[in-house]
A and B are shown apart, each in its own frame.
Chain A
Amino acid sequence: MAQEAGRGEVEFAHVTKAYGPSLAVDAIDLKIPASTYCCLLGPSGCGKTTSLRMLAGHEAVTSGDILLDDANVTLLPPARRGTAMMFQSYALFPHLTVAENVAFALKMKGVPKVQRLLKAKDMLEIVDLGRFAERRPSQLSGGQQQRVALARALITSPSVLLLDEPLSALDPFLRLKVRGELKRLQKSLGISFVHVTHSQDEALALSDLVVLMNGGRIVQKGTAEDLFSRPRTAFVARFIGAHNVIDLGDRAIAVRTDQTRLIAGHSDDSNTREATVKTVEYAGTGFSIQLVDDRGSDLTALVPEQDFRGAPISEGERVRATWAPQAAHVLEGGAR
């Protein structure tokens, strides 16, 4: 599929969604460059799905504007925005064949039957489902249904594809495979994908731009590396995971669990915490040691397998957790 490069520039300008007195989305500003894989990440109820649905046109904007490729689409109906949405449960029409599902948008536009079914077949070939064209959605596996939904969304050549938790209904093995396919597809189409997820793994693996939301606001946006190595607040560090949030009294820092080391002996260094080992878990590439320090906060240290074999640690043992000063990353707003 030849597509002109660089479509799908999205801008949220002070967009708010209120349900009565409560704000689901609180005046967010966000620029997604063209041809970007953007993940809206956050816990449930953070406003990520509402933001996606406002961009799709399935939810009215309370105030603010949404721009797509420099056009204000805030008040346009879904089909005239240049967006297409892939629903969480795929929302395939059970009474139509796979080909008819894919051709649905063309049928609504009044494209003659032969033409629209031909185009649907082409689209099905792209997602490698050509031979299933005459089947009903219920006769397909979850992964195949997902690809039908993808083909149906892409048939209108949208500039932005909106994906609402597209991988949540798949088993873990398939999830990894489809994740790779989505990323490849986005690259080859040259359009933007906006993908809502609550899985930080998914967001880190896929995104050119990660937007982490909480309580209707954007907490941090940036590349996956930005968020992982420089979490702005304690919430980001905890949500992204693999970080210890340590309260130093006057400030809070985040230290990656793989840069938190366990040492024996006494030290007056301020970069240490006396702690008791709570649990020891095998984590494949090493051992994940869960600790409780003497102030009662939880810490985790990821000890490489060789180090652990050299000096095994068992539950209930007293240890000292330490980190290099340059591994400490200062957080805004304390440890809460």
Chain B
Amino acid sequence: MLHHARWTSYWQAAPLAAVFLAFFILPLIVTLVVSFWSYTGYSIEPAFIWDNYRDAFDRCVESLPDLCTTFRTYLSTLKFCLTVWLLTLVIGFTIAYYLTFEIRSSTVRLVLALLCTIPFWTSNVIRMISWVPLLGRNGLVNQALMGAGLVEQPLDWLLYSNFSVILAFVHINTVFMIVPIANSMSRIDRSLVEAARDAGATGWQILSNVIIPLSKTGIAIGSIFVITVVMGDFITIGIMGGQQIASAGKVIQTQIGALQFPIAAANAVVLLAVVLMIIALLVRFIDIRKEL
């Protein structure tokens, strides 16, 4: 009986494990293997060479302290990542706090939470193209600003700029912060807030001593979502940056477009390593396992 029950749980986990194995682990292994293959303009040969990794960091060490293209690309991607992470964290935390602690009625909370998902009702590409009539040179925002006499000429930096890339990223990723943080917050016992107030804590002290520490798990999970999405992105940066801004993901996409699979694979492995390092750093600060 006991023996039987133990195997039941394995069977229950098996389908997801199989999907993970077939569509996540195997492709990852293939990518790793291919990253060591050699290629020419028209062929790909199985091999075990480090050339692809060397090419990925072409003249990077020699040219220091000047940054090579790869380092500059990663630095730019990391800057986007950090900015978007900070913005989504602050906005997401605030909204989650509002939904959890300020809204008394659970119906209203549910409706507002659903409102947060509206950006997902259309496809990513349509969503981004929709920014054009809003932010373009003759877009609504520029027309409104000029109409109000606030600017003489249309603002160029509204679209196809760092600003528009960050705007699109924040717009789409904030909800990934809201949901896990709100989930953590909803599990905070209200009497803890009252106990803190009873002990003389001010609003900010309650936030920093009770709510933030107890929302850490949600913050970590949301951060992982946002960081992985932004680090690997090439569509948003491509469209919103007017194909003018480099990113780690964009490099890989270009190489795949040129059918240079081995070097694309090598870059993908490097990107994965960078993302894993960031997450490892994050998890060090917040011991997720302890909080779960």
Contact = CB atoms under 8 A, between A and B. Distances in A.
Interface stretch (A103-111, A201-209, A216-224): A103-111
Interface in A78-109: 78-80, 84-85, 87-89, 91-95, 104-105, 107-109
Contacts of B194: 58, 85, 87, 91
A152 interface: yes
Contact of A91 (B189, B200, B209, B214): B189
B191 A79 contact: no
A93 B194 CA distance: 11
A84 B202 CA distance: 16
A78 B205 CA distance: 15
A87 B205 CA distance: 20
Contact of B199 (A57, A95, A104): A104
A109 B214 contact: no
Interface string A103-130: 0110111000000000000000000000
A156 interface: yes
Given A95-B213, A107-B209, A108-B205, A58 B198 contact: yes
Contacts of A79: 197-201
Given A94-B214, A107-B209, A108-B205, A84 B198 contact: yes
Interface string B176-189: 00000000000001
B146 to A, nearest CB: 50
A93 B205 CA distance: 14
B189 A104 contact: no
Contacts of B201: 79, 104, 108
A93 B210 contact: yes
B195 A156 contact: no
Contacts of B202: 108
Nearest to B191: A91
A97 to B, nearest CB: 13
B196 interface: yes
Contacts of B192: 91, 93
A334 B143 CA distance: 81
A58 B197 contact: yes
A108 B198 contact: no
Contacts of A94: 214
Nearest to B197: A78
Contacts of A92: 195
26 contacts: A57-B198, A58-B194, A58-B198, A78-B198, A79-B198, A79-B200, A79-B201, A80-B200, A85-B194, A85-B198, A87-B195, A89-B189, A91-B194, A91-B195, A92-B195, A93-B192, A94-B214, A95-B213, A95-B214, A105-B199, A105-B200, A107-B209, A108-B199, A108-B201, A108-B205, A108-B209
Interface of A: 56-58, 77-80, 84-85, 87-89, 91-95, 104-105, 107-109, 152-153, 156
Interface of B: 189, 191-192, 194-202, 205, 209-210, 213-214
> 8 closest pairs, A vs B, by CB?
A79-B200, A105-B199, A91-B195, A91-B191, A108-B200, A95-B213, A108-B201, A78-B198
